[in-house]
Amino acid sequence: MPGQTAIEDMLHPLLGRYLSAPDWVKASAGRAYRCLPESVRLGSAYESFRAQVDGDGPGPMAKLDATLNWALETVPAYAQFRDLARGGRDPREILAALPITDKLDIKHQPERYLSRAIAPTSRLETFTGGSTRHPMRFFLHKHVTRPRSRPSCRTSARA
């Protein structure tokens, strides 16, 4: 299993316990986690993602075009705008023609913003931090869209 699935995805169900743990437990766990090989922490999909970000994959406009076309074809909230994808228009022009989505739109009808092309088993339910006192429920694509950082295993010297 290492190298295929990011260990972070396996540990995600324990996040609540980690957040409520004493600081010394969190600090120890963080140091141990940073020392794991990147292939274990980030999973095998990370390398192909990194190559795309670094420019080895399709360019940004091609990625934007593909993302917009996919959203227009598979996301119910954008169904009425499907015609925008026809005719080889510039993806920036298509993006400018779409309405701005308000957080309340997603909060009140999250299912309208879920792609029909993604199986429900591939969704990772998550919530905003609730800085406005009202956390928002939304879904990420498992093993793909959760943000990841690249911490160093080295310890810094203190003066």
pLDDT, tens digit (0-9, with 9 covering 90-100), for 86-136: 878 889 999 999 999 988 888 889 899 999 998 999 888 888 776 767 778
Distance separating alpha carbons of residues 140 and 157, to the nearest angstrom: 37
Q: In this predicted structure, what is the pLDDT of residue 158?
A: 43
State residue 151's pLDDT score: 46
Instruction: Please answer whether residues 109 and 103 qualify as being in contact, where contact means their C-beta atoms are separated by less than 8 angstroms.
Output: no
What are the backbone angles phi and psi of residue 84, rounded to the nearest 5°? Answer: -60, -30
Three-class DSSP category at 63: helix
- DSSP assignment, residue 85? G
Decide: 66 and 58 in contact? Cβ < 8 Å. Answer: yes
pLDDT in tens, 5-51: 778 778 888 888 888 999 999 999 989 988 988 777 777 777 776 66
Average pLDDT rounded to a whole number, residues 141-154: 60
Task: Specify the higher pLDDT residue, 80 or 127.
Answer: 80
Q: Are 137 and 110 in contact (CB under 8 A)?
A: yes
Indicate if the pLDDT at residue 81 is higher than 90: yes
Of residues 3 and 9, more confidently modeled: 9
- Mean pLDDT over 131-145 rounds to 78
**What confidence score (pLDDT) does residue 157 get?**
44
**DSSP helix/strand/coil, 62:** helix
Q: Do the beta carbons of residue 143 and residue 129 sit within 8 Å?
A: no
DSSP string, 134-154: S--EEEEETTTSS------SP
CA distances to 2, 38, 41, 96, 145 from 5, in Å: 6, 12, 9, 36, 13
